[in-house]
Structure 1
């Protein structure tokens, strides 16, 4: 590997290990490497790269979806979700543990954030399941695993960032995430059902009146109405050709505010807190995206993508072997870096390799998001682990052990998608064909 590439990689690892801001670290590495090894006007490249990185029209959807998630977090919609789902899953093997998984899937459909999904659902269901005698370790594990669905099921904040950086249609990415999201949800539920059959003691016996179950199911449906309205306004407007992802995000914010006003949770305090939270998150993501755009240009001038490509091509790996290698690399990165940093750092280097191996950019987007989800529950920096530790007051080691079976399930699911990539392209292909 050329010396400039080696110096850039060592500098990047050193800066990230120092605890510096990811965005400033990425910019610093690019500036430092170009000033030493290339005779180009770095300040002009920096300005142009930052402008190109943050001026994409599709990025307008990012603050809007984040604002919607912040508003939902401060609403009371999630409070009725447990009681609405409870009669539907009560008689399944595993009982009410399935409410964690389904509630996370529902909330992921309207939030786009993994941490927000885990926190919003967990603050309701943990106490409920503890009070009913469910195995606490499985309660934490189901939240850790299913909470990551916030990144995969559209609308996804991470998908928008990937789409902008890789110049891939955000709508195609949203469509591609639906079927894997549903299948992964079913995998989690299947694992709980099998485990409950093998170890009946993890689930308390239900003592309710099953003769009234359909009455209870119908009575709980109104609590699902806000989510159905939001899902319809977001996905329906996009796939119906009425709105672009950006316009759908604006519609979603308006619908969320109207629904909160109807339930009387739209207060000035809620609006102020949501706006502040949105500003903080958008500022962080904006800096990272701008820095990543510059670093992508810088490593191109340094020849790093070509060097890495030549090295991996020299290994003569088959396409599936390349994906397995990338899985190992991303698991290692996920143990030290948060998901967004992983995406912006690796796309310029890895994407050309994956495309040359025969996988398309939409498939790689779903693959990368699943690897980021794994990073969410990988110690020591997995965000979902810290969220659950704060909710449960359990030691981090216990939270990690609870999440580990779901980490393995997700890892096997990623390998399944690598063997059968057509699963990811099925819905986008149908949409395009239609």
Structure 2
């Protein structure tokens, strides 16, 4: 069978299974089984598949994934994350478009805790959107910032998606975690800048209101108690990784331990919180690891069928500039992001894209972080971005999909601008990782 026919049948089978409602992990397993049976000598090839599955998840590099998920889950279920947002709100009373800015700031905070875009959209959308509309905010100003905040969840370390991307791509977890810091902060600043300027130019879209006056002493006290300690945990994790004092796995374990200590000190850790926190973290971790089990087999099937070598050769011989090839790869990611979630996109594309990246001589860290910005943008790209439908499900009555599409467009353009800057100035991504020990 020609490689292109194998690839076509593989993705056709995957698409059919997903359309009839089969979970992504099971769909990958089934098409991998069919491919192994055909290419690896029938039933005897299943032994190799088992070894591939075992090697794909039995690696020290992936240990930070459940650790970071558990850390965020405990902070969320213990109420630490919600209290952080409340304290942040106390300091934004003077800012134009206050609640919209709060959505971006809260998204950045939740990003350090959960790393899940759609989870961030669901939480902030259900709490902040009704309040913004009650205050007279235009739909585009109440919905758009919530959608944008979800993207920050995967661009603010510690990011589970960054770890998964690095482990599948075979490059440094520590460097990609440090490399996403500057783009993540820059994206937050660009979004906040847009909101503030728009609120100043069109005050009717984000009406000012009298915020409760909280004494400075109380704000400082609340910040010192409820905001500084959790942020210090995240900063400590990043610092340990940056200076080479600890591996990402060791830093994740220490951060998770300190999160439990914080929950105890706040008197928020009880049996119910423990069961919910560990239960949800286990469920999410298992889902991610099951998806990853298909990675090694998929990569090997691509190589065995000749698809990897053929695609790499085809890409290198295309009569187009390398920049256009990079853009085409990003367009594919946006298209996939309309239908499947981010971890699955990484699983599908990395085995195909990474040989091309090496062939072109691009830095895989640089490419991976551009890809992450694109992945978060894909979830809010009309007409089928997954976060758009999450927003529709929790939006106030009377909100049409066209309202959500319009609200997302300015923030999609901001993401495209950030990607263009990263492509034009690679040092924006690579400078900080180059300074690591």
Report what 1:150 is aligned to: 153
Report what 1:417 is aligned to: 422
**1:135–1:202 contact (8 Å) kept in structure 2:** yes
**2:178–2:433 contact (8 Å) kept in structure 1:** yes
Matches of residues 121-160 of structure 1 in structure 2 within 5 Å? 121-160=124-163
Report what 1:321 is aligned to: 324
Normalised to the residue count of structure 2, the TM-score between the two structures is 0.90
**1:5–1:303 contact (8 Å) kept in structure 2:** no
Matches of residues 9-408 of structure 1 in structure 2 within 5 Å? 9-37=11-39, 39=41, 41-207=44-210, 218-222=220-224, 223-379=226-382, 382-394=385-397, 395=399, 397=401, 398-408=403-413
Superposition deviation, residue 234 in structure 1: 2.0
SS at match of 1:289: helix
Q: Does the C-alpha gap of structure 1 residues 161 and 401 become closer, same or farther in structure 2, counting only changes over 3 Å?
A: same
For 2:4 and 2:379, the matched residues in 1 are separated by 33
For 1:381 and 1:119, the matched residues in 2 are separated by 17
Could you report, residue by residue, the CA deviation over 1:79-127 in whole angstroms, capped at 9, with x for unpaired residues? 3334433354333343332111112112222332223333444444334
Could you report, residue by residue, the CA deviation over 1:170-220 in whole angstroms, capped at 9, with x for unpaired residues? 11010000000011111111211222233121122344699x886675355
Superposition deviation, residue 59 in structure 1: 1.0
Q: Between Structure 1 and Structure 2, how many residues are aligned? A: 431
**2:97–2:208 contact (8 Å) kept in structure 1:** no
When the two chains are superposed, the root-mean-square deviation of aligned CA atoms in Å is 2.5
Structure 2 gaps, min length 5? none
For 1:27 and 1:286, the matched residues in 2 are separated by 13
**1:24–1:291 contact (8 Å) kept in structure 2:** no
For 1:410 and 1:80, the matched residues in 2 are separated by 29
SS at match of 1:64: helix
SS at match of 1:148: helix
The answer as to 2:436 corresponding to 1:431 is yes
**Deviation larger for 259-268 or 219-228:** 219-228
Report what 1:3 is aligned to: 5
Structure 1 gaps, min length 5? none
SS at match of 2:63: helix
For 1:46 and 1:373, the matched residues in 2 are separated by 31
Could you report, residue by residue, the CA deviation over 1:52-83 in whole angstroms, capped at 9, with x for unpaired residues? 10111021111111111211221222333344
Could you report, residue by residue, the CA deviation over 1:111-145 in whole angstroms, capped at 9, with x for unpaired residues? 32223333444444334434433334312210111
**Deviation larger for 260-269 or 6-15:** 6-15
For 1:220 and 1:132, the matched residues in 2 are separated by 25
For 1:370 and 1:208, the matched residues in 2 are separated by 34
For 2:384 and 2:104, the matched residues in 1 are separated by 23
